Chain A
Amino acid sequence: MAAETCIECDVAIVGAGFAGALIANELGKARKKVVILEAGDPVPPNINDFMRRFYMAPAKVPESPYTPEVFDAAGNLSDPSKMNAGRPTVLSLLRKGGFGDWTDPKQSYLIQKGPRPFASTYDRLAGGTAHWLGTCLRFVPADFRMKTNYPSVPQFVDWPIGYDDLNDWYGKAEAELGVSADLEEQKFLGIHFPDGYKYPMPKIPRSLVDVAVSDALRSLTENETKFLEMERPPTEIRVRSLPAARNSQPYKNRRACAGNTNCIPICPIQAKYDPTITLNEALETGHVEILDRHVANEIVVDPLGFLAGRRYTCYCGRSVIGSVLCRDCAQEMADYFKANHHVVIRSLSRGL
């Protein structure tokens, strides 16, 4: 890593994924000086290498196009301890004692102590979810009030914000990603939209399987569905399309989906949104800089807490100070953060 360089910025962001890229872009447009620290490799000028690696992979797992390589030269799973920035891979979630042993630190990046492994993985490229499917469901209003709705489950919490706080932000995110969906179809379980709201693109046409399943579930008898043990056995189960960050029309200079059936792990024509798109826009503002292969090791918080209007200096070497997210809500965020540290981190990582 580089020697003693000290960079001053308004905001330092750790991770160039969805959250990092979108925030960096908004801040860059507002002419804030932003530095992104990304642990993974730089985004290449084209996806030739990714696609070649994918086509040649004997297992088309979510990580197969990306670096670090899933396998080493000898054909074993790459040893995470030999990497600067490893990540969990699907093939390292396998049986104890066998290939891909999830408890073996030479194969498995995550250190997991429970009886079964946590099965979600991520990548080290532009944040971590370049290999996502593209599903863009909104939370329903009840999701934000789990504790109130299900008081008997002690682990549930209520969010400090609700669906209505996020409604406009959902719209902004959907416009940025380019989400295809049918508005009327998405109005279920309390999901509502601002007046005149339109999804950026019409929904992706349903596949033959979608239509067949939908037809089959359209008229059922109570006898057939009583096994579900619902209050009233349903006689119709409605199949709705998933809102997807997948172009059903040309959108922001990207092509419409051609059905390459490869959302996971990589869309060969970028018809599916991935964070490199927003990341590149953020870099275009001229106020955002990205440092690839930089691992944020330590975050040092100013002993006085988060204060609005204060500029933070990023320390040299391995430590970095994160800065306040926005001037207006600094105090609220600081208080909330102090009280609910663990909740915020977990919620942000599972996606809003």
Chain B
Amino acid sequence: MSHLPYPRPKSIAQGKKEDEMVGAFTRRTVLAGAAAATAAMSVGAVDSPASAQTRQDMILFVLLSGALTGIAEAKLAPGFRAVPSLTDIDLEKSEPGSDPVDIKQEYFNWVNKKRQATLRRLLQITKDSPKSSDRSQAIIDKVQATPDTKYLARSIVLMWYLGAWYDPDNLRALAELPNPPAKASSFEVISPKAYTQGWALRVAQAHPMGFSEMQFGYWARPPSPRTDFIGN
């Protein structure tokens, strides 16, 4: 049996040497991660938002997230209903969604605390986007226009997929600097709930390590189609 009880993870930043026994962890990486994790626990990811959030804000946040992640809005926010339709939305009549896990609320609170002004701009971009079938692409194009919205959008994508927060400034450093500092690869897990709600493994028709809602023997059967997991 191998003396490494788990597979070697790939590093996020490039250029790590293979003779390291474990992947990309450096002092700085973990430093930022662990310290921020402690801070996150005390801040309380499920507390009320820093600024007043309207129902409309939440609908826009779900639309934004759907456009950025490519996952159906009704999957990100169960109970979400676009009235009269997804391409022709009436913000007053639509339903933001109502489900017991309510991860959208936790994520909204989190991003609002981290980057309130930029989040507002992203929501405005979503609101101003044309009511057409390529609205998602329009949002993505608009978002790329300035670095603050561009990298916050990336943080939001990673947040939905991984349940972890990669700060936009770090993502920018990784993308734009020729030699990004080690700290730029750091991240923090948002909460136990967020970890279990990550979409990366659902897209893979699987589940996060340590959290299965499936039944004994599921591993012996082909998984359900991906649409069951992600809705489209």
- A55:B37 contact, CB within 8 angstroms: no
Bound form: Cα–Cα A205–B214 in Å: 15
Bound form: Cα–Cα A103–B216 in Å: 44
B168-188 contact mask (Cβ, 8 Å, vs A): 1 or 0: 000000000000000000011
Q: Which chain B residues numbered 187 to 202 have a C-beta less than 8 Å away from chain A? A: 187-189, 191-192, 195-196
Chain A's nearest CB lies how many Å from the CB of B23? 9
- B222:A76 contact, CB within 8 angstroms: no
- B216:A258 contact, CB within 8 angstroms: yes
Q: Which chain B residues numbered 2 to 27 have a C-beta less than 8 Å away from chain A? A: 3-6, 17, 19-22, 25-27
- A74:B35 contact, CB within 8 angstroms: yes
- With both beta carbons as reference points, the residue of chain B lying nearest to A205 in the complex is identified as B220
Bound form: Cα–Cα A77–B28 in Å: 11
The answer to the question of B100 belonging to the interface, with a C-beta cut-off of 8 Å to chain A, is: no
Instruction: Identify which of A93, A117, A135, A261 contacts B207 (C-beta below 8 A).
Output: A261
- B211:A268 contact, CB within 8 angstroms: yes
Bound form: Cα–Cα A99–B189 in Å: 20
- B37:A259 contact, CB within 8 angstroms: no
Instruction: Identify which of A94, A133, A206 contacts B22 (C-beta below 8 A).
Output: A94
The answer to the question of B74 belonging to the interface, with a C-beta cut-off of 8 Å to chain A, is: no
Instruction: Identify which of B41, B219, B222 contacts A259 (C-beta below 8 A).
Output: B219
Bound form: Cα–Cα A266–B221 in Å: 24
- B21:A258 contact, CB within 8 angstroms: no
Set of chain B residues within 8 Å of A259, measured between Cβ atoms = 212, 214, 216-219
Shortest Cβ-Cβ A-B pairs, 3 listed: A75-B31, A55-B192, A99-B27
Question: What are 30 A-B interface contacts by the 8 Å CB criterion?
Answer: A55-B191, A55-B210, A56-B192, A58-B187, A58-B188, A59-B22, A60-B209, A61-B6, A74-B31, A75-B31, A91-B22, A94-B21, A94-B25, A95-B20, A95-B21, A98-B26, A98-B27, A117-B21, A119-B21, A205-B219, A205-B220, A208-B219, A256-B216, A258-B212, A259-B212, A259-B214, A259-B216, A259-B219, A260-B207, A268-B210
> B residues near A, CB below 8 A?
1, 3-6, 17, 19-22, 25-35, 37-38, 41, 164, 187-189, 191-192, 195-196, 207, 209-212, 214-222
15 additional A-B pairs beyond A58-B188, A75-B32, A206-B220, beta carbons within 8 Å, are: A51-B192, A54-B210, A55-B211, A73-B35, A75-B33, A75-B34, A75-B35, A76-B30, A93-B21, A95-B20, A258-B215, A261-B210, A262-B210, A264-B6, A268-B211
